[in-house]
Every structure is written in C-alpha cells, then in structure tokens.
Amino acid sequence: MKFAVLFCLAAMAFAAPQEDAQILKDERVDNGDGSFSYSFAADNGIETEVAGTPGSEGQSNMEGFYLLPLEDGGFARVTFVADEEGFKTLQRSPPTPHPLPEHVHELLRIAEEQRAQGITFE
C-alpha cells in the first residue's frame, strides 16, 4: 500500500510542470512497529502529510492529505483514508468536473423535449 501511494505521488510530481522548487519541509518517522508518518512541503505549493499504522489484515492503514495543482494555479486539498476497505477520500475541495461540451447540452435538451412528449426508449 505504501508503495502504491508513493508511486502515485511520484507520478503526480513528474506530470506537473517542471520548475525549480525549494523543499520547505521533509519529515519522515518510522517507529519500527509498522507505524510511520511523513510530511512534505515545497515552496511551489505541493504538500502532503500521511500517518500510518499496521492494519488487521497485514496492510498499512493510512490517513492524511495531499494537495493537487489546479489549472487556475490554486490547489485542491484531498483528505483520505486507506484501510481494509480500500482508498477513500473524505473531503475534497475543487477540482470540479470539466464543463460539458455544447453538443451534450443540446442532446440533453432534445431528450427532455422527448420525455415531455411521452417518448421513451427501452
């Protein structure tokens, strides 16, 4: 599980526009009993904090957050838990879904007209 999360974070870092960034914080703690924590922050806004404990089925249970860069230059904070039940986001600020293309709005309008006329498709 730790490898998957670290791989995802590395993939995000490589996908982001490359620029020189100064590391503001890089703290890592391994307690030797399967529990751990790490936090990272850079001056370009990238940040993550994670704490983990051993899980009942041999996995690492983790909770924390990470920031995703947005197109407008801001960041979305994603809070998550990863445990026996898998990866779950608890709260997420934008990003919002991409806007629908104009032809989709037209198709939705046509479908609504057909429903109003009693036309159904099975």
pLDDT digits (tens, 9 = 90+) for 78-95: 889 999 888 888 865 555
Grade residue 104 by pLDDT with cuts at 50, 70 and 90.
confident
pLDDT (average), residues 18-30: 86
Of 35, 45, 39, 37, nearest to 26 by C-alpha is: 39
Place of tokens 């990866």: 87
And the tokens for 118?
């009693």
Least confident of 34-38, 45-49, 55-59: 55-59
pTM of the model: 0.57
- Hunting for tokens 């041999």 — which residue is that? 58
